[in-house]
Structure 1
Amino acid sequence: MLLIGLFFGTGIGVVVAAGNDLSLTGHDHSDPTHHGGTDHAAMHVETVEAPDGLGLSVEATPDPVGGYNLHLDAPNFTFAPGSASGPHVPGEGHAHVYMDGVKLGRFYGPWIHVPSDGEVSVTLNANDHRAYTRGGKPLAAALRLD
């Protein structure tokens, strides 16, 4: 019965998707209308020069329950969750946090918990996801947790 249900359930799902012009191929990152008219693929490659005074440092404190609490000190930077994926506003955006080279996600505030030891790196990114740079170098901070 389980196999029959899976077979017919899958078939019905395919018919419904086809009837609604849906596909399982994902979305086209080169589509300029994706993300409010910004080329999604380019957003993760292009950069934007950081305004004067914008900086970044990170400190870690061991959490008594496990992992570490990171504090991002970002002078002259405003975390702007309501403007995510919106137009660039100098000095606004979010942080991208990486653990051992793997992106943990976007963060919209100065405090972050990471669950384990490892190499942590943080970048500041504009609302439109471009990385802030200074003199062509990423505005980033890194530290080893162990």
Structure 2
Amino acid sequence: MSKPLAFLGIGLFFGAGLGFLVAATSGVQLEGHDHGSAVHDHGAHNHDGAAHTTLTEAGTPAPSLTLSLHPDGPQSRNLYIAVENFAFDPEAVNGPYVSGRGHAHLYLNGVKIARAYSPWMQIDALPVGTHELRVTLNANDHTQLASGGAPIEATIEVVIE
């Protein structure tokens, strides 16, 4: 009677291990919840969300930005964030405001998806359809930079066929 129980225990142990190995190598998510799409909402994370909506006057000369998209596969795009009077400053993130320095926040269809610490950013695995990509310039303390009370931001349409 003890041999069948031992074989059962060994079978369960190796069977479960093999099951996890097969699942992990096939791309199955083992984290217990479904994100629904490849785009993940970073707005729910504790990044001091109140700071994202607070405007900080950028000073003179005010930074500006323009966006351009470059194909990177059927559902991916490389985004180029061209800035003037602004320097990406990843080393100082979460620090105090410094005029003309900081990072960018990327929003896809109104949902924050990432921070950009340099002019180039890959946007991967977008679903088929038309999407709005908005980029804001933010200070190191995550407040959104503004000029004359207006947020410094740019929007571009992304079409995935």
- TM value normalised by structure 1: 0.68
Are 1:70 and 2:79 matched, yes or no? yes
Task: Report the aligned-residue RMSD.
Answer: 2.1
Structure 1 letter corresponding to 2:57: E
Tell me by how many angstroms 1:64 deviates.
3.3
Q: What pairs up with 1:1-146 in 2 under 5 angstroms? A: 40=48, 42-51=50-59, 52-64=61-73, 66-115=75-124, 116=126, 118-146=131-159
More helix by share: 2
How many equivalent residue pairs?
Answer: 110
Write the distance in 2 (CA, Å) between the matches of 1:65 and 1:47: 36
Report the 3-state secondary structure (helix = DSSP H, G, I; strand = E; otherwise coil) of the residue aligned with 2:96.
coil
Report the 3-state secondary structure (helix = DSSP H, G, I; strand = E; otherwise coil) of the residue aligned with 2:91.
helix
Write the distance in 1 (CA, Å) between the matches of 2:116 and 2:49: 20
Tell me by how many angstroms 1:54 deviates.
1.3
Structure 2 letter corresponding to 1:102: V
Structure 1 letter corresponding to 2:99: P
Q: Percent identity?
A: 39
Tell me by how many angstroms 1:107 deviates.
1.2
Q: Runs ≥4 in structure 1, deviation > 3 angstroms?
A: none
Report the 3-state secondary structure (helix = DSSP H, G, I; strand = E; otherwise coil) of the residue aligned with 2:97.
coil
- TM value normalised by structure 2: 0.62
Indicate the structure (1 or 2) with the bigger Cα radius of gyration: 2
